[in-house]
């Protein structure tokens, strides 16, 4: 993994995210897009995200972060407020494009998280 990150950082090549998926119960999160890593180790790019049964999003993300992290609830709030309403296979869903600029994640103009530089 260190070699991969080093090559990505040196070349500035984008990494395609073809189908990242998480699920817990009926809540499903999927993401597609492209990310690049600069020489300082910060990520930039865009991810198109769809959340099916979005009321469970914070609960889905919580195990991936430290107990005191606000990211799961922040992301839930941003998706609830700025995500586009849709349906997937008859289930309620939200869609949004996440923009990542030097580690700062935002939907539209609203920042909701900062990804620390990768080592």
Higher pLDDT, 94 or 2: 94
Look at residue 60 in the predicted model and tell me its pLDDT.
Answer: 97
Lowest-confidence region among 13-22, 84-93, 107-116: 13-22
SS3 55: helix
Stated length of the chain: 119
Residue 72 in tokens: 């799961």
Tens digits of residue pLDDT in 13-24: 678 888 899 999
Q: Provide the β-strand partners of residue 84.
A: 95
The mean predicted confidence, pLDDT, of the chain is 90
Q: What is the mean pLDDT of residues 39-65?
A: 95
Tens digits of residue pLDDT in 53-82: 999 999 999 999 899 999 999 999 999 999
Instruction: Name the helix (H) or strand (E) containing 36.
Output: strand 27-37
Residue 34 in tokens: 């492209």
Higher pLDDT, 91 or 6: 91
Distance between CA atoms of residues 1 and 34, nearest Å: 18
Look at residue 17 in the predicted model and tell me its pLDDT.
Answer: 87
Query: Are 8 and 16 within 8 A, CB to CB?
Result: no
Rg (CA), the chain: 15
Lowest-confidence region among 3-17, 26-40, 55-69: 3-17
């Amino acid at each position: 993994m260190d070699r991969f990150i080093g090559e990505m950082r040196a070349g500035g090549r984008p990494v395609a995210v073809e189908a990242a998926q998480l699920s817990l119960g009926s809540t499903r999160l999927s993401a597609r897009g492209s990310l690049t890593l600069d020489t300082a180790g910060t990520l930039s790019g865009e991810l198109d995200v769809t959340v099916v049964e979005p009321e469970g999003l914070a609960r889905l993300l919580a195990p991936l972060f430290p107990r005191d992290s606000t990211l799961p609830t922040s992301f839930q709030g941003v998706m609830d407020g700025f995500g586009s309403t849709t349906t997937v296979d008859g289930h309620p869903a939200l869609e949004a494009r996440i923009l990542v600029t030097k580690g700062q994640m935002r939907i539209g103009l609203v920042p909701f998280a900062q990804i620390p530089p990768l080592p």
